[in-house]
Structure 1
Amino acid sequence: MNEWEAGQDDEEAGAVMRTVVRQLKLWRESAGLTQAEFGTAIGYGEELVSSVERGRRIPRPEYLDAADEVLGASGKIAALKQDVAEVRYPKKVRDVKRLEEEAVEICSYNNSVIDGLLQTEEYSRAVFNSRRPPFTEEELEQQVTARAARQEIVEGAAALPVFSFVQCESTLRRPYGGTMVMRKQLEQLLRLGGLRNVDIQVMPLGREGNAGVDGPFRVLRLKDGTTVGYNEVQLTSRAIVDPKLVQVLEIRYGIIRAQALDPEESLAFIEKMLGEP
């Protein structure tokens, strides 16, 4: 599935696309245009117009803008851009993004890679590029774009949640993308770690105790007062809502934070790494 291709097994995206397709087709037919004539008018081929109207392709914003102008819709078609803005991303990404947008506090431990909310574009691309079997070029771009969209919550939201990240030292030393990409990534950690709503801690490899040896996980405290966990493993990701299991993750994360360097020590640790040859 490339960035603008509709997933056939995504019910939510399918429902949005059916509404968009219905509107586009009604406006085109009301104007008395065939798919070929409409495609010529907006600068796209008949095959693409057909794919959009069959729900197989998600129309890009410029497609909807051109359709709005040609069909004289006075902004009614262009307004559909908001409806399709996120369905081009995989459902898993949309689900995570919604959870993050509902959170007042996001706690993350990772001993595999730098947390996705902290990644530079170059680092994200290198991580996704290392996936085996590999993504296609279109899938790779989709993943990088989706990750960048999630990152807006760290600095771009009106009411910023509080973030706590604990990164195993190994994630700071694994050179995804090479030396310069990692250097830029470490500089990004220093910048984000200086924000008032962001704490970044490092779990040194020399620590004998590490309550996070079972792997990465997240704890999200939501606006409605509930707390959920989130876990990603090979080929599977899931939200954890069972109160007993969430309680285990909360306890575990508290211990991890206590075992790691404090935020001030952690930023000094990262600065020292930047000075290493």
Structure 2
Amino acid sequence: TISSVERARRTPQPELLVAVDALLECGGLLASAAEDVERAKTRRRVRHPEWFKDYARLEQEAVELHDYSSLVLPGLLQTEAHANVVFRTRQPFLDAATIEQRVAARLDRQQIFNRWPPPFTTFTIEESILRRPLGGWNVHREQLEALLRFGALRGVELQVLPMERKEHPSLGGPFIMVTPKGKSQVAYLEVQHISRLITDPDEVRILAARYGSIRAQALTPEESLTLIKKMLGDR
């Protein structure tokens, strides 16, 4: 086992790292890597539903991504606790193993923010979503704080569409515009776990124009983050 690990033919298990650390008196250096190995194992367990795999692949190749959310927070911005509530309360109910896989897959998608250069991403979120304390206040507070961190990332613009607006350019529901590297922009729709990838240029153009109208009616990124901070302070 030791020989295989040293020659990079085998990944060391967390238990081995902890045991060797103690035996060789490494002062926690090897033991600290056990958590990284465990996270890597989780990533290998990532499984997207069949209907979502095509979009997930495009998302990982994206140089631009624009998300309008009207009912639920974008998966790319969800915390582990929030995502767990989303999948745990879904009906019909999912078993524990499937929930674990779906949450891990959702968190794994956030790797795109760690790329260099990062994709240019914009998120326009209905204020009503932020007003719903999904999972209770503790889960919701953690999620709002996470939105502030995401909104501060380079290449990310987060906007909130206020509930007080008297007109709305997209009452037909949420959608995502994604531009994979070296490819044309496409759109993605998902309603009640029925998904559709739109590649027709005319349909894509219409949705892109609609997204521009949505952003124009939303608060600016700075105003949006200020609103989220106020929501945290009001509690």
Q: Distance in 2 between matches of 1:85 and 1:122?
A: 20
Q: Distance in 1 between matches of 2:77 and 2:50?
A: 21
Partner of 1:271: 229
Letter in 1 for 2:109: R
Q: Distance in 2 between matches of 1:93 and 1:169?
A: 26
Q: Distance in 2 between matches of 1:77 and 1:128?
A: 31
Partner of 1:197: 155
Indicate the SS of the match to 2:187.
strand
Partner of 1:116: 75
Letter in 2 for 1:145: A
Partner of 1:125: 84
Alignment gaps of 5+ in structure 1: 1-64
Q: CA deviation at 1:158?
A: 2.6
Greater than 4 Å deviation, 4+ residue runs: none
Give the structure-1-normalised TM-score. Answer: 0.68
Partner of 2:106: 147
Letter in 2 for 1:191: R
Using a 3 Å threshold, how does the CA distance of structure 1 residues 260 and 88 change in structure 2: closer, same or farther? closer
Partner of 2:127: 169
Tell me: higher relative CO, structure 1 or 2? Use CA pairs within 8 A at least 6 residues apart: 2
Cα-to-partner distance string for 1:71-124 (whole Å, 9 max, x where unaligned): xx983999xx99x94774333343222111221110000011110000110011
Match of 1:221 among 152, 176, 179: 179
Between the two proteins, the alignment pairs up a number of residues equal to: 205
> Which deviates more, 200-209 or 90-99?
90-99
Is the 8 Å Cα contact of residues 204 and 260 (structure 1) preserved in structure 2?
yes
Partner of 1:138: 97
Alignment gaps of 5+ in structure 2: 13-39
Q: Distance in 1 between matches of 2:45 and 2:195?
A: 19
Q: CA deviation at 1:235?
A: 2.8
Give the structure-2-normalised TM-score. Answer: 0.80
Q: Distance in 2 between matches of 1:86 and 1:92?
A: 18
Q: CA deviation at 1:176?
A: 1.0
Q: Distance in 2 between matches of 1:127 and 1:109?
A: 18
